Structure 1
Amino acid sequence: MSKQKKIPEFKTAAEEREFWESHDSTDYVDWTQARLASFPNLKPSTKTISLRLPESLLDRIKIEANKRDMPYQSLIKAWLAEDVEESRRAR
């Protein structure tokens, strides 16, 4: 394999992003030496949304969450994640 180019030092994240948008990383990184990394303690970013639900539906969700001893918003997130995963696998 040929010698890798030296990665330049960047003053800002925007400068680095612009560089990588126009350069091939294989010229700078020997990907054959890459190893799988795991970051189990990283918490995914969340975004607050507004969701209008009929009161009766929200009441039923809260009852179900109470039966499972979990916050109702966590239950909604779990149900959404399960449904999205099932939809992804069904394709």
Structure 2
Amino acid sequence: MARKLDPIPDDMTIAEASEFWDQHSVTDYPSQAVEVSWEPDRVTAFVPVARELLGKIERQAKAKGLSASMLIDLWLREKVPA
């Protein structure tokens, strides 16, 4: 016998949704699933960088409260024409 599922409440706050989904599984609600398509707007590229240079970049990034990858992304956006 299938167990009775709680209905998914409408208009939940983030806290209410978090509590609801902490106690329930999305796999119990397959009829509510909606197919979505999504293309990430970023990719990860691996570029060789001298260890000493990377250390300098990491220190500058930390001083600005950024990750090294975010700082490099900002620099590239400044230097590469749109």
Normalising to structure 1: TM-score of the pair? 0.44
Query: Looking at both structures, which has the greater relative contact order when contacts are Cα pairs under 8 Å and sequence separation is at least 6?
Result: 1
Normalising to structure 2: TM-score of the pair? 0.49
